[in-house]
Amino acid sequence: MFESLLNAFRAPDIRRRLLYVLGILIVFRFLAHVPVPGVNQASLAQYLSNNALFGVLDLLSGGGLSSFSVVALGVNPYINASIIMQLMTGVIPSLQMLQREGEYGRQKINQYTRYLAVPMALLQAYGVLALLNAQQNILTTGFELSRFETLTQIVTLTAGSILLMWLGELITEKGIGNGISFIIFAGIIGRTPAAVQTFLESPDVAALVIFGILGLLAIAVIIYIQEGQRRIPIQYASRVRGRRMYQGGQTFLPLRVNQAGVIPIIFAVSILLFPRQIATYFTTSQVKIVADISLAIEQFFANTFIYGLLYFLLTVGFTYFYTAFTFKPDETALQLQKNGGYIPGIRPGRPTEDYLAKVVFRITLAGAFFLGAVAVAPYVATALLPTLPQNLALGGTGILIVVSVVVETLKQIEAQLLMRNYEGFIR
Name all domains of the chain by residue range, CATH numbers in brackets. 1-203+398-427 (1.10.3370.10), 205-388 (1.10.3370.10)
pTM of the predicted protein model: 0.75
Asked whether residue 335 carries a pLDDT value surpassing 80, the answer given is yes
Residue type, 142: G
What is the bridge-based pairing of β-strands 244-246 and 239-241?
Answer: antiparallel
Q: What is the DSSP letter of 388?
A: S
Backbone angles phi, psi at 409, to 5 degrees: -65, -45
**No. of helices (H) and no. of strands (E), the chain:** 17, 5
159 vs 378, which has greater pLDDT? Answer: 159
- The amino acid that residue 109 corresponds to is I
Could you count the other beta carbons within 10 Å of the beta carbon of residue 170?
Answer: 16
- Nearest-5° angle of CA 83, CA 87, CA 93? 140
- Is the pLDDT assigned to residue 333 strictly greater than 50? yes
Render 250-263 in DSSP notation, one character per residue. Answer: EEEEEEES--STTH
pLDDT of the residue at 159: 92
pLDDT digits (tens, 9 = 90+) for 205-257: 776 777 777 778 878 888 888 788 888 888 877 666 656 655 667 788 888 88
> Based on the number of CB atoms within 10 Å of its own CB, is 406 exposed (0-12), middle (13-18) or buried (19 or more)?
middle
Q: Please, what is the Cα angle at 342 between 341 and 345, to 5 degrees?
A: 160
Query: Stretch 302-316: mean pLDDT, rounded?
Result: 83
What is residue 424's three-state secondary structure? coil
Indicate the pLDDT class of residue 268, thresholds 50, 70 and 90. confident
pLDDT above 60 for 392:
no
Contact 381, 271 (CB under 8 A): no
Q: What pLDDT was estimated at residue 334?
A: 85
Helix axes 263-280, 396-419, angle to 10 degrees: 150
Average pLDDT of span 193-213: 71
DSSP assignment of 170-222, as one string?
Answer: HHHHHSSS-HHHHHHHHHHHTTHHHHHHHHHHS--HHHHHHHHHHHHHHHHHH
**Cα 297 off chain centre by:** 28
- Name the helix (H) or strand (E) containing 135: none
Phi and psi torsions of 278, nearest 5°? -65, -40
162 pLDDT higher than 90: yes
The closest alpha carbon to 418, from 17, 58, 1, 4, belongs to: 4
Residue 63 is given by DSSP the state S
Average pLDDT over every residue of 383-404: 63
Query: Rounded CA gap, 200 and 208, in Å?
Result: 11
Q: What percent of the chain has pLDDT over 70?
A: 83
Please tell me whether residue 394 adopts helix, strand or coil conformation. Answer: coil
- Cβ atoms of 254 and 229 within 8 Å: the answer is yes
Least confident residue range of 17-26, 32-41, 163-172, 348-357: 32-41
CA atoms within 13 A on the CB side of 405: 20
Quick one: how far is CA 289 from the chain centroid?
A: 39
For residues 401 and 262, is the Cβ–Cβ distance under 8 A? yes
